[in-house]
């Protein structure tokens, strides 16, 4: 059985914090670890978790989404509840400085947008976004209105639907709804496949679809998932044959403490999935025109 320090390092939280689409969940896992495991782990691991918490706060000014700010605030609440006084004061100071820097950068970005900064053509953005996985596609759609329109492009979400739920051309249910379920925004962009993906994703009973984490039996640890597959490279192993067990943030604490990984209940799945990055996909959705 591996030691808690080794298991924590394999979680890769420090490496995930700089990535905008993983930052919120990494902060949530740190928050849960602080509340549920900090006082039960060795001092060397406590020190490492404290340093990763400071890193999370220092990276906050680089994040551009409200989801990241909420995740950092959740981490702050766990800091105040779990850390001893000296470390708590240091972390709270780091958070306050990070929030000041974040507000300044947000204001600077807004002023830059008003001044008319150069933007990539829409078709170029769509082509770039076609290389993204689902979570990254969700994240770029939160950056600004222009990126949200590009990230809502029909073909992008048809490809995502095919990746998650199979061949979209052969789905009789989707075919039957192609006329009745069309939704268009005021600019005339068809949002059918994004809506279809949303319905299928939220209606799915598979926890694997609702998780950014999974236990890979080939890696023998909890890993990040990219489109339901282990993000690590497996030499000589077909990605379709990977053995992945979906993991919720609340299960990370038990895994860290005693290397256990109990099955998640449906209620846990609901509560964790509600706060995930996918739930904010429609944060910038344009209102429907009055004629519709």
DSSP reduced 3-state for 32: helix
Backbone angles phi, psi at 216, to 5 degrees: -90, 120
Radius of gyration for the alpha carbons in the chain, expressed in angstroms and rounded: 21
Kindly compute the dihedral angle of the four CA atoms of residues 37, 97, 101, 46, in this order, to the nearest 10 degrees.
Answer: -20
| 104 and 127 in a common domain | no
| 126 and 57 in a common domain | no
Residue 287 domain flag: no
Residues of the domain holding 20: 4-113
| 226 and 168 in a common domain | no
| 183 and 97 in a common domain | no
The model's pTM is 0.67
> Residue 74 and residue 72: Cα distance in Å, rounded?
5
Q: What is the DSSP string of 93-151?
A: HHHHHHHHHHHHHHHHHHHHHHTT-----HHHHHHHHTTS-HHHHHHHTTT-HHHHHHH
DSSP reduced 3-state for 157: helix
| 154 and 242 in a common domain | no
pLDDT, tens digit only, all 292 positions of the chain:
468 899 999 999 999 999 888 899 999 999 999 999 999 999 999 999 999 999 999 999 998 778 899 999 999 999 999 999 999 999 999 999 999 999 998 888 777 666 555 677 888 888 998 888 787 788 788 777 888 888 888 888 888 888 777 665 545 444 444 433 444 444 444 457 888 887 777 766 455 555 678 888 888 888 888 766 787 776 554 545 567 788 888 888 988 888 776 544 434 444 444 444 444 444 444 433 333 3
Q: How far is CA 119 from CA 72, 125, 126, 206, 216, in A?
A: 30, 9, 13, 39, 40
- Count each helix (H run) and each strand (E run) in the chain, helices first: 14, 4
- Output the domain CATH number for residue 159: 1.20.1280
């Amino acid at each position: 059985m591996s030691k808690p320090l080794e298991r924590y390092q394999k979680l890769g939280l420090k490496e995930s914090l700089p990535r905008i689409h993983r930052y919120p969940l990494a902060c949530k896992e740190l928050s849960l670890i602080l509340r549920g495991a900090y006082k039960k782990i060795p001092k060397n691991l406590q020190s490492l978790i404290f340093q990763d918490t400071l890193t999370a706060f220092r990276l906050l000014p680089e994040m551009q989404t409200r989801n990241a700010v909420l995740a950092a605030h959740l981490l702050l609440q766990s800091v105040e509840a779990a850390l001893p006084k000296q470390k708590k004061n240091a972390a709270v100071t780091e958070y306050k400085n990070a929030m000041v820097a974040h507000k300044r950068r947000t204001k600077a970005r807004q002023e830059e947008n008003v001044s008319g900064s150069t933007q990539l053509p829409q078709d170029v953005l769509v082509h770039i976004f076609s290389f993204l996985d689902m979570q990254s596609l969700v994240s770029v759609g939160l950056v600004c209105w222009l990126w949200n329109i590009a990230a809502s492009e029909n073909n992008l979400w048809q490809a995502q639907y095919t990746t998650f739920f199979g061949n979209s051309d052969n789905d009789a249910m989707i075919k039957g709804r192609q006329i009745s379920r069309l939704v268009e925004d005021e600019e005339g962009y068809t949002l059918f496949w994004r809506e279809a993906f949303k319905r299928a994703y939220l209606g799915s009973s598979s926890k694997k679809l609702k998780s950014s984490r999974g236990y890979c039996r080939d890696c023998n640890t909890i890993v990040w998932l990219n489109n339901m597959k282990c993000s690590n490279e497996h030499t000589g192993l077909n990605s379709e044959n990977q053995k992945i067990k979906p993991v919720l943030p609340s299960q990370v604490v038990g895994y860290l403490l005693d290397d256990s990984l109990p099955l998640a209940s449906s209620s846990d799945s609901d509560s964790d999935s509600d706060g995930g990055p996918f739930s904010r996909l429609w944060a910038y959705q344009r209102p429907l025109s009055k004629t519709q």
